[in-house]
Structure 1
C-alpha cells in the first residue's frame, strides 16, 4: 500500500515522538535500533518524495524515490562504520547514510552520505561476507551565526537573551557571548519563575528554555 506524502510526514513525526518517549523512560538511544532505522527510512522517503519498499525486510533497498531510484538507507547513532551485504548491495541504485543524534536531548537527523551505489562501492572495505564503510568524524569550525537576524530579544539585569532566525538562542553579557548558555538561562528562569522542565517532565533544551524566558520577560 502506497502512502501519501502527508502520511509519511505524519508517520515520521509519530516515530520521533515515540523515540522521545522511550528516551524519557531512560532507554539508551543505542538500544532503539529498530525505531531509529524506521525513522531513517521515513525521512528518506519524505525527502525523495518516495515510498517505503513494498515487502517487509525487502532485500537490498528500503525506499523507492519518486524518480524510481531504489535506495538503501542506513541509520546510525554512534557506530563508526556501516556494513553492507555483498549479496544484496547491487540491488540498490543509491545509498543514504543518516545519523540520528541527540542535540540537548532532542533527536536530530544528519545526512552523512547520499550517493549512487556505483560511487560508493570503490570506497568500501571487504570484510568477508560484508562490505564496510567507515564514517569519518566531522570536524571544523563552529557555524558562523553573526549574519542571522535577531527575531526577539529580552534583557535580564546585565544579560541579553536573543533568539536568532534559525531558532538558536544567544546569551550575551556586555555584548560578549556567554558559553555555556544553559546555566545562565536556568538562573534567569528560577529568578523570573519560568519552569525549566517541559510538559513531559524532562529538562528543556536551550532553545525551548531561551524562548520561554524571552516571552516571560517581554
Structure 2
C-alpha cells in the first residue's frame, strides 16, 4: 500500500531520529547503510511528490515521482570527498532520473549532491559500460570550498579553553586551546552538559549545531558580570 505524503514525512522524521540515536550510541555511519538508504528514498519521495517503488528490491529504481519518473536514489553518509557511488549499469535503462544524497552528520540534514538524467550521470561515471558497475567519485559531486572573504563573527564567548563563535551566516565555530575542532557538535554537547544546558528542544529532539551553539553563547554571555 502506498504511503501518503503525511506518512512519508512522519516516517522520514522517525528514521532521522533513529539514525541520530544509533550514531550517539557509537555505531559508525558505514554500518547503517540500510537506514541511510531508507532515509534517502523517503526524502526523494517527499521532494518529488512521489511514492516508493511498489516492489521490494525493485530493479533499477527506488521511487516513482509525481510526474511518473523512475528515480534511482543513492545516499551516502561520507563527510569527506573520498569514496564513490556505485551503480548497476545494466539496469540504468529502467531509470529516468538519478538523485544522489548525502546526510550531513554535523547538522543532521540531507544534502543533494546530484539530481539529473541518466545521461548526465553517465558523463561522471568511470567504467560506465553496458555491463557491470559504474562509479561516480564523490569528489566530482562536492565542489571544493572557494577562498572567500572571512565571514565576520557576530557573537563569541570563551570558556575553559573553548572559544565558541557564531558567524554572520549563522554557522557555529568551536576552537579548543586555540585549535579549531570539527565536527563541533560533540564539543558543544560536552560544554552544554557541564553547564547543565539541555541539548533537547521542547519536542524532545536534539538541537542542531547552530541552535545549540547559540544557546551556549547566550548562556555564557548572561553569566558574565
TM-score band, normalised by the shorter chain? 0.7 to 0.9
Q: Distance between the aligned counterparts of 1:5 and 1:143, measured in 2?
A: 40
Contact kept, 8 Å, 1:75 with 1:98, in 2: the verdict is yes
Deviations 1:94-132 (A, max 9, x none): 0011112311xx422221111111222243222762222
- Deviations 1:81-100 (CA, angstroms, capped at 9, x unpaired): 12211321110100011112
Aligned equivalent of 2:94: 91
Q: SS of the counterpart of 2:90?
A: coil
1:140 and 2:145 aligned: yes
Q: Secondary structure at the match of 1:3?
A: coil
Shift of 1:144: 6.9
What secondary structure, in the 3-state scheme, does the structure 2 residue paired with 1:198 have? coil
Paired with 1:69 and 1:5, the residues of 2 have a C-alpha distance of 17
| CA RMSD of superposed structures (Å) | 3.8
Deviation, structure 1 residue 166: 6.2
Asked if the contact 1:161–1:170 (Cα under 8 Å) also holds between the matched residues in 2, the reply is yes
Query: What does 1:58-207 correspond to in 2, within 5 Å?
Result: 58-78=58-78, 80-103=83-106, 106-126=107-127, 129-136=132-139, 138=142, 139-141=144-146, 167-169=170-172, 180=180, 194-195=195-196, 198-199=199-200, 206-207=209-210
Q: Cα distance 1:143–1:206, how it changes in 2: closer, same or farther (>3 A)?
A: farther
User: Are the counterparts in 2 of residues 155 and 161 from structure 1 also a CA contact under 8 Å?
Assistant: yes
The DSSP-based 3-state class of the residue aligned with 1:136 is: helix
Q: Structure 1: which 5+ residue stretches go unaligned? A: 172-177
Give the whole-Å Cα distance in 1 for the aligned partners of 2:134 and 2:157: 55
1:33 Cα offset (Å): 0.4
Instruction: Map Cα deviations across residues 131-182 of structure 1 (whole Å, 9 max, x no partner).
Output: 22222253123777969xx7xx68889xx988678653479xxxxxx97486
User: Given the two structures, how large is their TM-score scaled by the length of structure 2?
Assistant: 0.70
CA spacing shift, 1:136–1:4, aligned 2, 3 Å = same
Deviation at 1:77, TM superposition (A): 2.1
Q: Is the 8 A contact 2:151 2:167 kept in 1?
A: no
Greater Cα shift, 78-87 or 120-129 = 120-129
Q: Which residue of 2 aligns with 1:174?
A: none
Once residues 146 and 44 of structure 2 are traced to their aligned partners in structure 1, the CA distance between those partners, rounded to angstroms, is 28
**Displacement of 1:60 after TM fit?**
0.6
* Counterpart Cα distance in 2 of 1:108 and 1:55: 28
The runs of at least 4 aligned residues of structure 1 exceeding 4 Å deviation read 142-147, 153-157, 160-167, 181-190, 203-206
Superposed CA offset, 1:35-92 (max 9, x none): 0000111111111111111111111100111111110001122362122113211101
